[in-house]
């Protein structure tokens, strides 16, 4: 079982603090066994003052972090010298220095300041809440801060934007660890969307259409049910009853990405589902997912997750019981 340690600092934001436990504890294998164990700690094992009007009691101190496989740092509104000077207080510096080699480290929202101050983001790409991105970049010039994405996966170090982007990041980790089938079940259990790509914009200027304007939502729902068909932007626009120009603009306003990028992402996710749950040859999976050819599927899957269809199937296809 993969162990996760969540570090609650003074001023921790309760919503984001609860995300890792809620997402990871909902992940189970085919026999119903939990795939993760999640434990929360503070630096000294004592109560932590939350950003809200209450304290949080925890049962572990930060020595826990040296024994877990993944460390998660949620945001805090009381980062003090970490945010103001880029300096870690001694106890926090010592706790992070004691992490075992190979420990996966995750920051949600302003938790990225903690990783940056610890030197864990030197030479890496990362993100944080868009309001903090410029300040973080000025303070830590050796890190490339991307303010326009929901999360960044840099291998053993992952960072996310604020609030709900922490859910997206934790679901991404489950998907990376155990495949889309398990991640989709977690999302269904938690009643959240199963997939928002990390490259999607953090904020959309006009997320809710006005009463006199149309929406692309119905067309997106229709497209998900017809991914095997040769969908085009002009065809989607016609389905929505809009010009291509109007449809493309409203689509990006509502979905945070272009129609073509969105279609490719939906098809990759569907192909991953087929690879995990069927014995279909790669060419059949490609056809059913709308890629047309196995070569196209290989190109898109490798571009999205870094592996081809056969390697993905070997990794995430449930093994038959012996």
Average pLDDT score over residue span 182-209: 69
User: Structure pTM?
Assistant: 0.78
Split at pLDDT 50, 70, 90, the class of 196 is low
Of the listed ranges 62-66, 100-104, 195-199, 228-232, the least confidently predicted one is 195-199
Helices and strands counted in the chain (H then E): 14, 10
Q: b or e along 182-215 (b: 16 or more beta carbons within 10 Å of the residue's beta carbon)?
A: bbbbbbeebebebbbbbebbbeeeeeeeeeeeee
Comparing C-alpha atoms, which of 95, 104, 110, 106 is closest to residue 140?
110
- Other beta carbons within 10 Å of 254: 17
* Mean pLDDT taken over the chain: 90
Of the listed ranges 92-106, 117-131, 252-266, 287-301, the least confidently predicted one is 252-266
pLDDT in tens, 94-145: 999 999 999 999 999 999 999 999 999 999 999 999 999 999 999 999 999 9
CA distance 226 to 271: 13
Average pLDDT score over residue span 86-97: 95
Q: How far is CA 280 from CA 67, 225, 284, in A?
A: 41, 19, 6
CA distance 124 to 152: 10
Q: How far is CA 136 from CA 92, 120, 250, in A?
A: 19, 14, 31
The tokens for 130 are: 């868009």
CA distance 68 to 54: 28
């Amino acid at each position: 079982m993969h162990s996760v340690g969540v570090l609650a600092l003074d001023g921790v934001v309760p919503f984001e603090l609860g995300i890792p436990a809620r997402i990871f504890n909902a992940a189970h294998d085919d026999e119903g066994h939990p795939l993760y164990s999640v434990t929360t700690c503070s630096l000294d094992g004592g109560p932590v003052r939350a950003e809200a009007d209450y304290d949080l009691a925890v049962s572990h101190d930060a020595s826990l972090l040296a024994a877990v496989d993944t460390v998660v740092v949620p945001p805090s509104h009381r980062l003090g010298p970490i945010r103001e000077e880029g300096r870690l207080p001694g106890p926090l510096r010592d706790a992070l220095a004691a992490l075992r080699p190979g420990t996966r480290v995750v920051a949600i929202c302003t938790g990225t300041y903690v990783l940056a101050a610890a030197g864990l983001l030197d030479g890496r790409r990362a993100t944080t809440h868009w309001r903090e991105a410029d300040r973080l970049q000025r303070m830590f010039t050796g890190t490339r801060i991307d303010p326009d994405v929901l999360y960044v996966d840099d291998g053993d170090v992952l960072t996310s934007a604020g609030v709900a982007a922490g859910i997206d990041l934790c679901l991404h980790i489950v998907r990376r660890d155990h495949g889309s089938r398990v991640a989709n079940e977690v999302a269904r259990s938690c009643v959240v969307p199963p997939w928002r790509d990390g490259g999607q914009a953090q904020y959309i200027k006009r997320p809710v259409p006005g009463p006199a304007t149309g929406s692309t939502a119905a067309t997106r729902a229709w497209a998900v049910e017809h991914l095997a068909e040769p969908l085009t932007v002009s065809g989607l626009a016609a389905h929505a009853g809009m010009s291509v120009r109007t449809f493309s603009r409203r689509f990006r306003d509502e979905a945070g990405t272009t129609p073509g990028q969105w279609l490719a992402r939906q098809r990759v996710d569907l192909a991953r589902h087929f690879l995990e749950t069927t014995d279909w040859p790669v060419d059949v999976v490609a056809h059913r997912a709308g890629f047309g050819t196995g070569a196209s599927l290989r190109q898109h899957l490798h571009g999205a997750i870094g592996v081809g269809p056969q390697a993905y199937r070997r990794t995430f296809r449930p093994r038959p019981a012996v």
